[in-house]
Amino acid sequence: MSPALIAMLPFLGALLPGLLIRSGRNVAAISCGTTTTVALIGLLLHIPAIMRGEVITTSFSWLPQIGLSASFRIDGLGLLFGILILGIGLLIITYARFYLSRQDPVGKFYTYLMLFQGAMMGIVLSDNILLLLVFWELTSLSSFLLIGYWRHLPEGRQGARMALTVTGGGGLAMIAGMMILGNIAGSYEISDILLAKDAIQSSQWYVPALILILLGAFTKSAQFPFHFWLPHAMSAPTPVSAYLHSATMVKAGLFLMARMWPVLSGTPEWFWIVSTAGLVTMLIGAFIAVFKDDLKAVLAFSTVSHLGLITMLLGFGTPEAAIAAVFHIINHATFKAALFMTAGIVDHEAHTRSIKRLGGLRKLMPITFAIGTIAALSMAGIPPLNGFLSKEMMLYEVDHLSRAREVFMVLSTIAALFSVAYSLRFIVHVFLGPERDDYPHHPHDPGLGMWIGPAFLATLVVLIGLFPNTMAGWLVDASATAVTGEVQHSHIYLWHGVNNALIMSIIAIAGGAFLLSLYKPAYAIWRAGPHPDAKTIFHTLIRWSVSAARSLTNAITDGSMPRALAAFTLAAVFCGALAWSTGAIGQATRPLLEFELVPIIGWTMLMVATGCMVAFHRYRLLALVLVGIVGLIVSVGFAYFSAPDLALTQLSVEIVTVILLLLALNFLPKKTAVESSNRRRGTDAFIATIAGVGFGGLAYAMMRRDFAFDSISGYMLENSYKKGGGDNVVNVILVDFRGYDTFGEITVLGIAALVIFALTETLLQGKSSRRLRNWVHDYRRAGDRHPLMLVVGTRMLLPISLMVGVYIFLRGHNEPGGGFIAGLVVAIALLMQYMASGFVWAQDRQKIPYHAMIGVGVVAAALTGVGAWFNGMPFLTSAYGYFKLPFLEEFELATAMGFDLGVFLCVVGAVMLALNSLSRIARHAGGTVNVAPMDNIDPNDVKTMEAD
């Protein structure tokens, strides 16, 4: 089975629970279990190839321009984590079916769980760091949904936010580190990066990349000082906690460090940062776990400690330590998942997780007691269980350190001592002792569905401990080979003779048992000491950050658009001035052009119109006229510089804009009130002047100099006909080279028109409607609403205008024109009908709904783009050909015409829908009805207008 398919199967499984939930909880669970099982079988089928040293890869080109490929790989490390994620995931799916109550929405839970499983599989099977980053962030989002699944609990919501904030922040740092790493290696493919050790470690960017990547790994795997979020995630349902703590989420950071071990390890920076963080985390987590009262809290802090142990081993940078780290990943997953499910069983049956309210469960819950005892003893490192083997390997590697050996030996032994203490406490204080008569609920062993999963894991704990090489040695060798980049052959034995590691282990076991015997006085000392609460510190920092951000925001802008624009403009001017003063722009290389009369006249008119606009901007109608003049002069400038497409577009847009704004100004006072003081206007004038001078200077400098880079226009000119089949470069750019941009623009245009229509609907209801009907205009209106000459002239010009629009549309691919300009021309022709004869008269003769026109336009453009896929080409790639019909010359047809048709329909629909909205407001305003001349309409239309 393809690695890509294995990674995608859980996402398919995420769709099924929501679709099948009405069929029952069992069907939802079975659907998820089936897809997980299929993915697991597909993964296991690759074991023979992996054991031969092969790497199974699959790659699909996604965004090759930025080096992003959908590349997947299965090697020994991916195989190990894939087995853990899918295997334990299958057990969790079964366990959750019986753990969750009937009030819990099971479909939603399984959907979140499968999304999480898919994100984790994507991480461990990715062969591209950009793709890995996508799945990395998806784990943060899906874990947020899982941890906050019981959203009615405040601690659930708080834990989810804390996890997302910490891991999401680390993920942002990791993105930067991965980008640096990819740039150093010259590739974003993990396979290539793993071969670039020398280039990476000799780069000056090695340390920044290392720190940023480790920030992502440490936050995800709860390493000090980011360890605090993981215990607060225990507010999630126990199936989530068991999955998150054993095989997923927190193991993602360990996977990342193991994956990048061949190129990042072996340096002093790696050793001191990684091993120190791991040692401190191992010690702090174990110490806190001893004194926690909540069962899941004990297990959560123990997870923190064991994650620190694995991190420390990876930080040592030796192949032997890497083998020990990989082996403990397996062992920790087995006993920790079993322990969390055991804690969930106790909570489910006794209705409490408080150790103070438990005890004496050995006879009441014998199956649960057996499973929990085996798993807890393994966690304590008691022989002959698997936890003992990897703990011994850890202590052996500590004993053979070449740096800070004594410090690591002492602190590791102390951490192991605490580990024994909290593991034994889990057994003694929960299961041993006399039975109580004050349990919140009388406990007993659950049904098979809840204990079969942890029982299977407890069996693995024993079998791996007794037969380590047979049960897990092959997997350890394969994964350690992938981690180190060299073939590894582990030799895991229960007895290594009397050595320092064994002595340290005996001290830890004896010391842990002794500490448990003195638990009451030790707990009293703990209670008397200071307890900095990470949750309180976190929320305090968040409040401070929010307060500082709000203060900064309020200092920059108070909601005033002029103030915000001033800040933005000054920032742009400052950056430009800084670049200008520190850069080397060089001498001018292009001579000035000779002055000609026509451009001087146009420039003078433009300056005069712009100056008048500033001086008379409060007179709205005059301002609109001046804006139209500026637009007209710009159109002439485009035509003068041989840009007829831009000239036609600019001219058409100006006409449509002026007409629509004229209608809008009908509802506004003639003058804008004075709202700014003279001081404010002076400040604005100063800012505008320096910005204008700055941008003018930049334009002047650019036009007077030749630069080293080539303009993209050369590529467009060269390939317009070859690849787009058109001589009109502008049109080919719009419908082919940058067709996706155009598609987005027409979609936004249609949405804007629909929003205007929706706002009008709201305006014409309730109090606003009554205010419109009672509104009195502040100036006299003309008595002749529909001048006869205008009515006759526009009706005669309509067919001609429509023919011109069709002509411009058809010629657009090779001559100035196209769907956008044609749409504006047709819209202008229709606008004139509405203005001349009235909205009711024109609307009664126009049967096409504008909403549908916009929708058809977007669909037509989309279908044209999708059609390219059937030829194996990217979205919106044009195809063209030449055809000959009888009595006609040879002509060209291009698929771009379908896209242009979509643009045409969207433009016409959006303009007319905006006009529709303004006209409906006008018909309600002042109690008047926009009627047409009586001699131009049918009597039935009068009834319609009166009804309106």
| Domain final position from 542, 561, 594 | 542
Residue with tokens 């790639």: 877
The whole-number average pLDDT for the span 635-662 is: 88
CB distance 390 to 255 below 8 Å: no
DSSP of 682-740: HHHHHHHHHHHHHHHHHHHHHHT---SSPPTHHHHHHHHHHHH--S-HHHHIIIIITHH
Band the pLDDT of 876: cuts 50, 70, 90: confident
Is the bond preceding 17 in cis, omega lying within 30 degrees of 0? no
In angstroms, the CA 379 to CA 424 distance is 9
Q: What is the pLDDT of residue 67?
A: 62
pLDDT in tens, 471-505: 998 999 999 999 988 888 888 887 777 888 889 99
For residue 945, pLDDT over 50 is answered with: no
CB distance 731 to 818 below 8 Å: yes
pTM, two decimals, is 0.71
CB distance 919 to 764 below 8 Å: no
Residue with tokens 């959560």: 300
* Cβ density class 712-747: b for 16+ within 10 Å, e for less: eeeebeeebeebbbbebbbbbbbbbbebeebbeebb
pLDDT in tens, 392-417: 999 999 988 888 888 999 999 999 99
Please list, in sequence order, all residues whose beta carbon lies within 8 angstroms of the beta carbon of residue 380, skipping any fewer than 6 positions away: 387, 419, 420, 423, 424, 509, 512
| Domain final position from 477, 508, 542 | 542
Residue 812 structural domain: 729-948
CB distance 711 to 833 below 8 Å: no
In angstroms, the CA 118 to CA 124 distance is 10
In angstroms, the CA 942 to CA 948 distance is 10
**How far is the CA of 832 from the CAs of 152, 548, 823, 858, in angstroms?**
59, 55, 14, 26
Q: Is residue 79 part of a domain?
A: no
Domain tally for the chain? 2
Helix residue ranges per DSSP H, 204-318: 206-220, 229-232, 238-246, 250-259, 261-264, 268-270, 276-290, 295-316
Pull the structure tokens for residue 14: 């995420």
In angstroms, the CA 107 to CA 572 distance is 51
DSSP helix/strand/coil, 557 = coil
The whole-number average pLDDT for the span 18-41 is: 87
Q: What is the pLDDT of residue 938?
A: 44
CB distance 88 to 244 below 8 Å: no
Q: Is residue 87 part of a domain?
A: no
For residue 193, pLDDT over 80 is answered with: yes
Q: Is residue 110 part of a domain?
A: no
Pull the structure tokens for residue 405: 């050996």
DSSP of 402-421: SSSHHHHHHHHHHHHHHHHH
- The type of residue at 13 is G
For residue 550, pLDDT over 90 is answered with: no
Q: Is residue 199 part of a domain?
A: no
CB distance 809 to 817 below 8 Å: yes
Q: Is residue 203 part of a domain?
A: no
Q: Is residue 445 part of a domain?
A: yes
C-beta atoms surrounding 836 within 10 Å: 23
Q: What is the pLDDT of residue 930?
A: 40
Q: What is the pLDDT of residue 810?
A: 87
Band the pLDDT of 124: cuts 50, 70, 90: very high
pLDDT in tens, 322-378: 999 999 999 999 999 999 999 999 988 888 888 888 888 888 999 999 999 999 999
The whole-number average pLDDT for the span 769-789 is: 66
Q: Is 114 exposed, middle or buried (0-12, 13-18, 19+ CB in 10 A)?
A: buried
| Domain final position from 542, 573, 608 | 542
Q: Is 532 exposed, middle or buried (0-12, 13-18, 19+ CB in 10 A)?
A: exposed
φ, ψ dihedrals at 20, nearest 5°: -110, 5
In angstroms, the CA 652 to CA 76 distance is 64
Average pLDDT over all residues of the chain: 86
Dmax over Cα atoms in the chain, in whole Å? 115
| C-alpha Rg value of the chain to the nearest Å | 37
Q: Is residue 843 part of a domain?
A: yes
pLDDT in tens, 211-233: 999 999 999 988 988 888 888 88
Q: Is residue 238 part of a domain?
A: no
